[in-house]
Amino acid sequence: MKEQNSEVVRGYKVFDENWQCRGFQYEVGKTFTHGEQIEPCVSGFHFCPKVSDCFSYYSFDPRNKIAEVIAHGEVKGDDDKLVTDVIEIIREVSWEEMLRLANSGSNNSGHSNSGDFNSGDFNSGDFNSGDFNSGDFNSGHSNSGDFNSGHSNSGHSNSGDFNSGDFNSGHSNSGDFNSGDFNSGDFNSGHSNSGNFNSGNRNSGEWNVSDHNSGCFNTETRPLHFFDKETDITWADWYRHRGRYILNSFLYRPTSWVWHDDMTDDEKAQNPHWEVTRGYLKRNQLSYKEAFQEFWNKLDEGEKADVLTIPNFDAVKFEKITGVNVHG
């Protein structure tokens, strides 16, 4: 938290339609003094250095009043919110002027936009009605692609959410034209398919109406191979296996989202768009196999024994896949 004494610190403050804030009555052209100790978010007259910062704390409502202010007394706070004990209400800022001040783009009705014609907020793209978009023509939020009505899409023309592919009405698809969810293939109405044209689920092959097939045009579910050998175990049997339950508790995230409040100065310097995206995507420093070794080391002996009961268990192949020597 910064603390400074200055004769003049300029900024902006938002009030309700009656020029009140937290029950205190203000008036343009007057100076007000707080007779007690000031503390950010607790006591004193609060304001923001930039008008766009105000709407992190006040609703974006055209009925609200906005004013340019000067702090004449002691000032405390952070980069986007300050508090003082002596504040002067210099002049009213019209809603139209506020939009010009809050956006570096043009013709925006939202705020904090660097793109143009946005009615949402924090957009670097154009023609967005949602928020935090770097693409164009989005009505959803946090899209880097274009023409999305869903949220958090990096692809284009999605009505679902979290899609990196295009033209998906489902969610979390990296493929295209899916109405199901979690598909990396294309044209799937089922879920979690890496192949194409599947109405069943979790198929790597194509045109399957059953589940868990790697071939094509199947209507029945086949037993699974384990460690490159045949078994009589179906997916339903494997789903209930204790070893599968233990291994599926392993969670590896190759990336993680870091919000702007948690970013270091070095991270901000290395990710110059953090102000637009309000954070950045950080890579995991551990490889997949390094992370799995840490996971394995934390299992107790009973859990490790359950993993070893997986059908056809082969220690050499297990190590090749996970990096873990179960006898080491």
- What pLDDT band is residue 297 in, cutting at 50, 70 and 90? very high
d(CA 121, CA 132) in angstroms, rounded, equals 6
Return the axis-axis angle of helices 315-322 and 288-298, rounded to nearest 10°: 120
- Asked if pLDDT for residue 116 goes beyond 80, the answer is no
Taking a C-beta distance cutoff of 8 angstroms, is the pair 274, 268 a contact? yes
pLDDT of residue 2: 57
Q: Which residue has the higher pLDDT, 170 or 90?
A: 90
CA 36, CA 46: separation in Å to the nearest integer?
Answer: 14
Tens of pLDDT along 150-188? 888 888 878 888 888 888 888 888 888 888 888 888 888
Residue 20 scores a pLDDT above 80: yes
The residue extents of the domains of the chain are 2-101, 225-322
pLDDT of residue 307: 96
Whether pLDDT at 3 is above 70: no
Q: CA-CA distance, 136 to 276, in Å (whole number)?
A: 14
Per-residue model confidence as pLDDT tens digits over 24-77: 999 999 999 998 999 998 999 999 998 888 888 888 788 899 999 999 989 999
- In this predicted structure, the answer to whether residue 104 has a pLDDT above a threshold of 80 is no
Comparing CA positions, the residue from 84, 52, 86 lying closest to residue 66 is 52
218-234 mean pLDDT = 89
Determine the pLDDT at residue 265. 94
pLDDT over 90 percentage in the chain: 38
pLDDT(16) > 90: yes
Please tell me the predicted confidence (pLDDT) of residue 7: 63
The whole-chain average pLDDT of the chain stands at 87
CA distance 254 to 257: 11
In the prediction, which pLDDT does 245 show? 93
Span 124-135, pLDDT tens digits: 887 788 888 888
59-74: pLDDT as tens digits: 878 889 999 999 998 9
pLDDT recorded at residue 263: 92
The C-alpha atoms of residue 313 and residue 249 are separated, in whole angstroms, by 19
- Examine the pLDDT at 1 and tell me if it is beyond 70: no
Non-local (6+) Cβ contacts of 299 within 8 A are: 246, 307
Q: How many CB atoms lie within 10 A of CB 42?
A: 9
pLDDT at 181: 85
> What DSSP assignment string belongs to 36-72?
S--BTTTBSEEEBSSGGGGGGTS---TTSEEEEEEE-
Output b/e per residue, 63-74; b: 16+ Cβ within 10 A. ebbbbbbbbbbb
Taking alpha carbons only, the member of 254, 264, 255 closest to residue 290 is 254
Nearest to 52 by CA among 1, 128, 135, 108: 108
Class of the domain covering 2-101: alpha beta
